[in-house]
């Protein structure tokens, strides 16, 4: 049984999610202590609990201590079973983070799976659906995964109520992912979407972003009305390059003005564009697990976040994969996953 100290590194929910996925794939029992110890609300929140219950159901495993706010839990995985699954957070807890927990597991199922997820799809502190679909899944497909997704309903914080459907086929052959050069820009767009908001808010977010980035006429802009059971807002910038698509987003919150939302998106995009790396910091964090399970590879990125470094530490507890983070001395890094 592997012992996982939930206070190590960034001390958040990612430690739990990565460990659950790898425990299921490797068939290794795992014991968690100090779950989410570095968060204001410690222990299992709804989204984290659903991740544990989902992986347990998929593997026919057993859980003890999987109650809300619990800081200690044991997971004994069974055999991975493909099929039909439906998981609900019952809140605005991120359906996308649940998806990223169960996908690596179901790629090792004995048959295809269909997974319905209900919860938040555009919430602070988690990848938004468009990033998940256009960036994360696109990279997994290049690695050999066969996954389709669809957004049936948008879920903003705090109401949630979003709905995502995944179609996952067992991986047949992994391929190495090589993303050392993003390539030239092919296209880009700025999108502001909202539900129950004054359309002027969305228009202003797009216009402020354009001004901050000095965008030319080759950038597309859109404002969209989202089908959601509750009010909410998201602004994102999508950049399509020859070798990769990247996306930067901010979800609107009550205390955030439209100006702040736009400035934050513009700042993230500016830093990425100025660096000439392939993978942004958030994508770098999320690529490590599938690359370590698959054939490895390499990508250029900005200085690794504490999330990325913590993820690497957890992966090493389960897999014999060597992850090297090499400073290229120009403010960028080359991360290599060697199998």
Q: What is the set of active-site residues? A: 307
Can the peptide bond before residue 269 be classed as cis, meaning omega within 30 degrees of 0? no
Cβ neighbors of 292 (< 8 A, separation 6 or more) are 315, 319, 321, 323, 337, 339
Phi, psi of 220, rounded to the nearest 5 degrees: -90, 150
DSSP state of 303: S
The answer to whether the Cα torsion of 117, 120, 124, 130 is positive or negative is positive
Tokens encoding 281: 């910091």
Listed residue (94, 128, 110, 78) closest to 12, CA to CA? 94
The residue among 113, 1, 11, 120 whose CA lies nearest residue 57 is: 113
Q: Are 186 and 245 in contact (CB under 8 A)?
A: no
């Amino acid at each position: 049984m592997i012992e996982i100290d939930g206070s190590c590194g960034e001390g958040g929910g990612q430690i739990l999610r990565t460990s659950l996925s790898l425990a299921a794939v490797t068939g290794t029992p795992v014991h968690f202590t100090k779950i989410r110890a570095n968060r204001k609300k410690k222990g299992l929140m709804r989204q984290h609990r659903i991740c544990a219950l989902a992986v347990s159901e998929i593997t026919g495993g057993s859980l003890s201590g999987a109650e809300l706010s619990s800081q200690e839990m044991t997971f004994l995985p069974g055999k991975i079973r493909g099929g039909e699954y439906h998981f609900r957070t019952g809140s605005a807890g991120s359906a996308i983070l649940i998806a990223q927990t169960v996908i690596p597991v179901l790629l090792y199922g004995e048959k295809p799976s269909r997974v319905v997820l209900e919860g938040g799809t555009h919430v602070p502190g988690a990848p938004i659906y468009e990033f998940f679909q256009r960036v994360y899944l696109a990279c997994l497909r290049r690695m050999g995964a066969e996954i389709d997704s669809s957004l049936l309903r948008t879920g903003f914080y705090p109401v949630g109520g979003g709905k995502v459907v995944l179609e996952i086929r067992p991986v047949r052959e992994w391929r190495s992912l090589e993303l050392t050069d993003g390539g030239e820009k092919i296209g880009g767009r700025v999108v502001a979407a909202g539900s129950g908001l004054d359309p002027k808010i969305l228009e202003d977010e797009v216009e402020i972003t354009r001004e901050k980035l000095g965008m030319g006429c080759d950038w597309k802009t859109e404002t969209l009305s989202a089908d959601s059971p509750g009010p909410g807002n998201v602004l994102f910038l999508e950049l399509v390059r020859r070798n990769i698509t990247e996306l930067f987003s901010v979800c609107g919150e009550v205390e955030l003005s439209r100006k702040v939302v736009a400035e934050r998106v513009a700042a993230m995009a500016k830093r990425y564009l100025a660096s000439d790396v392939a993978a942004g910091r958030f994508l770098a964090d999320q690529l490590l697990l599938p690359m370590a399970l698959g054939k490895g590879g390499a990508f250029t990125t900005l200085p690794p976040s504490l999330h990325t470094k913590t993820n690497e530490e957890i992966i090493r507890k389960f897999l014999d994969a060597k992850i090297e983070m090499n400073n290229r001395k120009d403010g960028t890094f080359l991360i290599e996953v060697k199998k």
